[in-house]
């Protein structure tokens, strides 16, 4: 296992769509293991393969708090099949370090995916898990949280991230 570099906005690779996984191979298992190590080290509650430069439709989520046992969800080729209601709440993103903004999401989602071993499963989620599923699934479509912000907030976040990017390059 290895910790991979997380891409930061405005890296154009964050806009690439993930490609469906056609077979659960050793490469996919290695990617999942590396993503888990990367997500926990960051620390974060979710990570999409596209955020580490891997062009696959894979994301991980673990919303357990520090005093709870870990519950790692692996979603391969996820498909959100149903959404219900609406909620507005703060979101952060490992590709937008230090940024937290209120984002409008569905309050409840149903998702179908394959697990780490390629076994199909379906899950209905609410609360933080539902938000995280939508957020990470957006990454696989090249959609970022900044795309869900109002124009003023979007401009402020773009400036902050561009300044950070320039400082990182210097």
Catalytic residue among 19, 101, 136, 167: 136
136 is annotated as an active-site residue:
yes
Task: Give the sheet arrangement for strand 46-48, strand by strand.
Answer: 46-48, 58-61, 73-84, 108-114, 120-126
Residues carrying an active site annotation: 136
């Amino acid at each position: 296992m290895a910790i991979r570099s997380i891409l930061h906005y405005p890296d154009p690779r964050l806009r690439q769509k993930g490609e469906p996984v056609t077979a659960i191979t050793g490469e996919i298992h290695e990617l999942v293991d590396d993503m888990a190590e990367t997500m926990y080290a960051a620390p974060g509650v979710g990570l999409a393969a596209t955020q580490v430069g891997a062009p696959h439709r894979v994301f991980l989520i673990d919303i357990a708090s520090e005093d709870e046992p870990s519950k790692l969800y692996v979603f391969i080729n996820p498909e959100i099949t149903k959404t219900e209601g609406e909620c507005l709440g703060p979101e952060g993103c490992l590709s937008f370090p230090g940024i937290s903004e209120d984002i409008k999401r569905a309050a409840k989602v149903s998702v179908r995916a394959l697990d780490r071993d390629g076994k199909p499963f379906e899950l209905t989620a609410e609360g933080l898990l539902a938000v995280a599923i939508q957020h990470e699934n957006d990454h696989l479509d090249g959609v970022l949280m900044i795309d869900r912000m109002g124009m003023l907030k979007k401009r402020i976040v773009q400036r902050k991230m561009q300044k950070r990017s320039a400082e990182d390059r210097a």
